[in-house]
């Protein structure tokens, strides 16, 4: 059976681009069959742009403040992506909500990553909200973007225990390590043609529970009194 072709990626960023770097590294390792056609930032000073340039990836700056509406901004982004024949859009720390202009142009083909176990703690302070609420398990989520804030169908999640003494920074740092693992993995599943969206469910074709650990993550750990 022939392998699926390399997926053509467009990556949108607003900041440091550490998840962009994770995607680049996965491609270089051969773990991800993808080509980043363009990295776009809505901020000219985003450090992630330099990450892309170091790897010879084309970059573009489209500053949202220069457009009278969200839709006008999205039209400019869409034109740049279409000019590079982008098939999948990855939001890697992109701090803008997308309008129907983008969502209608890439149905089921825009991924985002969030630093909580959605639907818990959407918005920009996932780790802080998790600590403030007192949960014992936090994590991160890759999902398909739909209208709304962090509400799309879930593709992959990783759970991260909240440790005694954690603050927002320490928990966010451990969650970020898992973001760097699951975002390239989700893109790889897309490239392999293994993702199907059925309502709120993302079905991963070829997936079997027998290939995964069924051991629960319990925090704090349950101590067997007989041990």
* Backbone φ and ψ of 201, nearest 5°: -95, 135
Q: What radius of gyration, in Å, describes the C-alpha atoms of the chain? A: 18
Q: How far apart are CA 171 and CA 135, in angstroms?
A: 12
The DSSP output letter for 131 is H
Which active-site residues does the annotation give? 114
d(CA 117, CA 98): 21
Query: Residue 113, SS3?
Result: strand
Torsion sign (Cα): 196, 198, 200, 204: negative
Contact 129, 172 (CB under 8 A): no
Lookup result for tokens 């990556």: 11
CA distance 40 to 46: 10
Q: If you search the block for the tokens 């079905």, which residue do you land on?
A: 203
| Residue indicated by tokens 């990836």 | 57
Query: How far apart are alpha carbons 165 and 149 in whole angstroms?
Result: 30
The 154-161 sheet, strands edge to edge:
59-61, 34-41, 7-13, 88-91, 110-114, 137-144, 154-161
């Amino acid at each position: 059976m022939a392998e699926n072709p390399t997926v053509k990626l467009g990556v949108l960023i607003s900041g440091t681009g550490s998840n962009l770097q994770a995607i680049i590294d996965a491609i270089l390792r051969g773990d991800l069959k993808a080509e980043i056609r363009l990295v776009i930032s809505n901020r000219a000073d985003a450090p992630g742009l330099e990450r892309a340039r170091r790897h010879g990836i084309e970059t573009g700056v489209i500053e949202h403040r220069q457009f009278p509406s969200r839709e006008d901004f999205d039209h400019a982004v869409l034109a740049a992506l279409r000019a590079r024949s982008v098939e999948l859009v990855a939001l890697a720390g992109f701090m803008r909500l997308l309008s129907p202009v983008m969502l209608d142009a890439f149905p089921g083909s825009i991924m985002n990553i969030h630093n909580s176990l959605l639907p818990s703690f959407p918005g920009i302070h996932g780790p802080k909200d998790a600590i403030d609420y007192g949960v014992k398990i936090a994590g991160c989520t890759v999902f398909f973007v739909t209208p709304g804030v962090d509400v799309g169908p879930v593709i992959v999640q990783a759970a991260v225990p909240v440790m005694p003494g954690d603050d927002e920074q320490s928990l966010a740092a451990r969650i970020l390590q898992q973001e760097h693992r699951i975002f390239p993995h989700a893109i790889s599943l897309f490239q392999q043609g293994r993702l199907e969206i059925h309502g709120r469910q993302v079905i991963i074709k070829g997936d079997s529970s027998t290939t995964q650990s069924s051991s629960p993550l319990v925090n704090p750990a349950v101590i067997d009194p007989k041990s």
